[in-house]
Amino acid sequence: MKKKSLICFLIFTMVCCLGTYSLAYADNKADKQQELDQINKQKSDVKDDMAALTSSIKEQQAEVDKLEKSMDQKQNEIDAAQADIEQTIRDIEKQQEGLNQRLRNMYKNGSVGYLDVLLGSNSVSEFLTNLELIQRIYRGDEKTLRTLEKQHDELEQKKAALKVEKESLNQQKAEAEEKQTALQADKEALQAKLDELNAEAEAISDEIAAMQNPQKVYKGGQFMWPTTSTYITSPFGFRIHPVTGVYTGHTGVDIGVGMGSPVYAAADGTVIVASWYGGYGYAVVIDHGSGISTLYGHNSSLNVSVGQNVSRGQVIASSGSTGVSTGPHLHFEVRINGQYVDPMQYF
């Protein structure tokens, strides 16, 4: 009876302990899941924020470029109008000079008018000849005066139009300056996030190194080119960032390729990352052994999963423009023990 009671007591104690352990495990699992959900939410927020900033910068840059093109055109129109006005002024001055010269000659000769010319005629024939000449001069002067009046009117109209064009240009310049200020603010905000991502890229070095198998030996030889295009839009090393315009380091090579093009494994290896990876967007990292890994970034979709063994030339993803990207391309990196190196030495 005592033995039976002891057994029952032990069973009861074990059930209680297991129940407590299960509750503790469940609580711990829930906490971990909550932490994971929070991290994923932060990643999603950063992704959406950077995508929105990049999109905003592209739109604003397009508007600024359009305004600058319009301003250049407007400036050309203003320059042409200014040249036209100057030519009109020269024409007026020429017409006035001819008229003024005749009046000066008449004054120098002591003549005070057409009547003196007629009265100075020595014969009827000379009188008629002088009369005809005076009429021609009068008609010529009248035409000159009408031309001068017309040119003056045109000149005033051109000046008024030029004033309107200049005011329009000044408004466009003010608008462009305002948009440029907003654009610069967004670029600085994006650059701040890029700086964070560069710090993240540095941290990734240790992360990738920790995920690699130290026992694995690379035996693959020369790498295979990772996509169908061979057009490098941005080489390894320092460059002017295409979105922010800041001189900064580039950890791999950008290969210009259309959306959805196949992305190939450069060599045999094991997938150690296949997910959203910060500024790289949807990325794949493959461990090839001997501390060598390759990274494929900005993909639109992934064809592999973590732990999967892949072969040289196997399609591992489809190219895209996820993460911090200005358009469809493949960002390809080679790292040695997590530290990025120039990929071109492996081809």
In DSSP notation, 61-108 reads HHHHHHHHHHHHHHHHHHHHHHHHHHHHHHHHHHHHHHHHHHHHHHHH
* Distance (Å, whole) CA 280 – CA 270: 19
- The pLDDT assigned to 245 comes to 67
Average pLDDT value for residue range 102-126: 58
For the ranges 119-123, 208-212, 298-302, the one whose mean pLDDT is highest: 298-302
Band (pLDDT 50/70/90 cuts) for residue 21 is very low
- The pLDDT assigned to 32 comes to 45
Average pLDDT value for residue range 303-315: 95
Contact 57, 186 (CB under 8 A): yes
- Res 15 pLDDT > 70: no
Q: Return the half-sphere exposure (C-beta side, CA atoms, 13 A cut-off) of residue 177.
A: 6
- The pLDDT assigned to 189 comes to 74
* Distance (Å, whole) CA 336 – CA 342: 10
Domains (range + CATH), the chain: 51-192 (1.10.287), 212-346 (2.70.70.10)
Q: Lowest mean pLDDT: which of 35-44, 250-259, 303-312?
A: 35-44
Q: Compute the C-alpha angle 65/69/72, nearest 5°.
A: 135
- The pLDDT assigned to 179 comes to 74
Contact 345, 252 (CB under 8 A): no
Q: 188, 179, 176, 321: which is closest to 246 by C-alpha?
A: 188
Predicted structure pTM score:
0.50
Alpha helices in 212-322 (DSSP H): none
Report in angstroms the alpha-carbon separations of 219 from 163, 285, 289.
75, 18, 8
* Distance (Å, whole) CA 294 – CA 253: 12
- Res 39 pLDDT > 60: no
Percent of the residues in the chain that have a pLDDT greater than 90, as a whole number:
24
